[in-house]
Amino acid sequence: MKPISPLSININDDDFLSWTGADTYTRARLFEFALEHANDPVIITTTQLDLPGPHIVYVNRAFTLQCGYSTEEAIGQTPRILQGPLTDRAEIVRMRSELLQGNPFVGETINYRKDGSPYFMEWSVNGLYDDKGVLHFYVAVQRDVSASKAYEQRIQEQARELAHVNQNLAIANQDLAESNQNLATANQELAKVNARLVELALTDSLTGLANHRAYQSRLKEELDRAKRYQTPLSLLSIDVDRFKSYNDVHGHPEGDVALQQIAELLKAHTRSSDCVARPGGEEFAVILPNTDHEGALCHAENLRAQVEAYNWPNRPLTISIGTSTTSPADNFTCPLIQLADEALYRSKSTGRNRVS
């Protein structure tokens, strides 16, 4: 379709207000000019909704720029050429239902350009009726909202990240805001970075558990608390059985997945007051505050059984566990880590997949 030239029409202001001064041809040219220079793609189709229809009878210049089809390529085609794998079928069905009922339609879905690239769009479809109420065409107006969708996704990602900011960050931000309102924005960003560094320093990057440093610090804290309140404290030392051969056969990526799953099982079956850690490699540890040795054995056996019962995708995996306990009875002199490691060695040397 050739570009439409600007029109020279001699109509006074009163005529424009009433539209009585423009003949049918001039008004048609005005409307066509407006459509061709609209920013949003416009498609006019026939009214046959069943295949092979509807057929495109008109597209404006914005359509060709957005979708990549020339006017000649689009005319006679069905709008289904714009649909693809991610097109929302439910929206298409809803549109058909609304149009069959004589209602206008407004919706949102993903369409595809001629080169196959997808884009989010909002679109409306209205029937074009004559004075007698006979439907002749459907007029669809599209709007590319990919940029706003991408912005919404970024906002959602940022919201998820902010949800993980810990209580210390909130307190720090509050103190900074009260102490110096002028520097609140800059200090808030700095506090976020510092909190993230602290988290990285104390967290195992693979499993999200406490790392070796955090584990040692937490064990000292719990031992001090046990002495203060005269309550027992137990420790589980855990090792994944034959994990080296698992890595050798299935590869390190699969090994990492297995370690992550074991970490999830350990977290899911421990108390909120317990501390699950990964000191290193295939070794895990669980600190059990206010737990005597009998309770530690029961807890360890439950964890062992959970890992054994899990439906592992490659081959069964099991864990061996060693336990140790210190209490007022030994005046808190028991070397927890050493005794737990010795018990773990007994579990490994007597057949694995057991608790000692």
Q: Catalytic positions, please?
A: 282
Closest CA to 284 of 206, 221, 346: 206
> Rounded distance, CA 104 to CA 88, Å?
18
Residue 190, SS3? helix
> Rounded distance, CA 199 to CA 337, Å?
24
| Pair of tokens at residue 163 | 């949800």
CB 297 within 8 A of CB 322: no
One DSSP character per residue, 27-48 reads: HHHHHHHHHHT-SS-EEEE-S-
Whether a cis peptide bond, with omega within 30° of 0, leads into 52 is yes
CB 62 within 8 A of CB 72: no
